[in-house]
Structure 1
Amino acid sequence: MQVDGHSFFVITGGPGSGKSTLLDYFEQQGFLRSIEAGRSIIQEQATIGGNALPWKDKMLFAELMLSWEMRSYEQGLKQGNTVPVLFDRGVPDVIGYLRLEGLDIPVHVQRAADLFRYNKRVFIAPPWPDIYRQDAERKQDLETAFRTFDTMTAVYTELGYELVELPRCSIEDRAEYIRSNIR
């Protein structure tokens, strides 16, 4: 059974391209949004000394991201699937992560991407060297940000989504660009 998230809009792309900052802005404007799985899992695992970290156990990290994304989707459904919900990445991003790491895509991960569908229009933030910064959770370099962008472009396209590249501009202008594309 496939679920249709016609009012669920994904914002994806490489690390450090302004996705989470943009979603924080939308949240302040009253929009519903999800929280990025990867960063949150890294923070939680670091707190408890867990192994589900991209530099310890990549597959376990991917499994936790998948569970997080599916739970975020289900929480969005509780809103009635009638108001726009903005997602800081989505289930297909787990496939992208596994590809980037050279790992096989388990059948259940592919199945999840086929079942948990978002709006056909997906927003993708391009690499933005001027704002890119590494931090405690974001250890990837800028080259990895470019590879991630390319990988996410390929994965979402293969899954039948229409990608809309976000402009490199102020948060307010980026937000208006998205608003005009989800009306």
Structure 2
Amino acid sequence: MGEDGANRFVVISGCSGGGKSTLLAELARRGQSVVEEPGRRVIAEEMRSGGSALPWVDLAAFARRAIQISLRDRMEAAQQKGWVFFDRGLIDAAVALEHVSGELVAEPLAHAHRYHRQVFLTPPWPEIFENDADRRHGMDAALEEYERLIRAFPRFGYEAVDLPKLPVHARADFLLGCLEQR
């Protein structure tokens, strides 16, 4: 994909339970193109099929599936016009796979498949963190993941921008404002 396409692809990553999905829903409500989190789609597929590529069963298999879905998402997003906002994505999945398996996949994938140079991170926000059927880990695991991601994105040439802990409409305004300044 050309650099112009990648410049339209904006990743929203960060701490699990930090409000990413809520923010993506707000952006979609405003008419923006959004891509659902690959991990949640993997979980839904595995639960339907009785598979084991679940983060609480086989994290490496889960991450590999999330990488495949992320690559497909990028190809499909190329058909969209304007900004495309990704709820997590390729780098999140590759960093998870590296963490659990030691396979050095994140750097080559991060350099071959670029996103917008600014990546927006939801910081830890314990006051809104909740478990659900797909998020079975606790705040400690969420913090560990966040720390891995906050180190990884700059290592791959991205500017990590922490989203402020604000109501969702103000958070969306902040994000869109950052992009408009570029």
State the partner residue of 2:54.
Answer: 53
Count of residue correspondences = 178
Question: Distance between the aligned counterparts of 2:61 and 2:83, measured in 1?
Answer: 31
State the partner residue of 2:159.
Answer: 162
- Say if 2:19 and 2:122, in contact at 8 Å, map to a contact too: yes
User: SS of the counterpart of 1:26?
Assistant: helix
Structure 1 ranges of 4+ moved more than 3 A: none
Unaligned runs of 5+ in 1: none
Question: Distance between the aligned counterparts of 1:51 and 1:106, measured in 2?
Answer: 23
State the partner residue of 2:92.
Answer: 93
Question: Distance between the aligned counterparts of 1:162 and 1:173, measured in 2?
Answer: 21
State the partner residue of 1:19.
Answer: 20
Question: Distance between the aligned counterparts of 2:24 and 2:113, measured in 1?
Answer: 21
Q: Residue deviations 1:17-64, cap 9 Å, x none?
A: 000111011111100011101111111101110011112222211111
RMSD: 1.4
Q: Residue deviations 1:145-173, cap 9 Å, x none?
A: 11111111111111010011000010000
Map 1:6-155 to 2 at 5 A.
6-79=7-80, 83-101=82-100, 103-107=101-105, 110-155=107-152
Question: Distance between the aligned counterparts of 1:3 and 1:52, measured in 2?
Answer: 32
- Say if 2:67 and 2:94, in contact at 8 Å, map to a contact too: no
What is the TM-score normalised by the length of structure 2? 0.92
- Say if 2:23 and 2:172, in contact at 8 Å, map to a contact too: yes
Distance change (3 Å), C-alpha of 1:164 and 1:137: same
- Say if 2:120 and 2:163, in contact at 8 Å, map to a contact too: yes
What is the TM-score normalised by the length of structure 1? 0.92
State the partner residue of 1:174.
Answer: 171
User: SS of the counterpart of 1:68?
Assistant: helix
Distance change (3 Å), C-alpha of 1:136 and 1:119: same
User: SS of the counterpart of 1:9?
Assistant: strand
Question: Distance between the aligned counterparts of 1:53 and 1:176, measured in 2?
Answer: 34
- Say if 2:107 and 2:156, in contact at 8 Å, map to a contact too: no
What is the aligned-residue identity percentage?
33
Unaligned runs of 5+ in 2: none
Q: CA deviation at 1:106?
A: 4.2
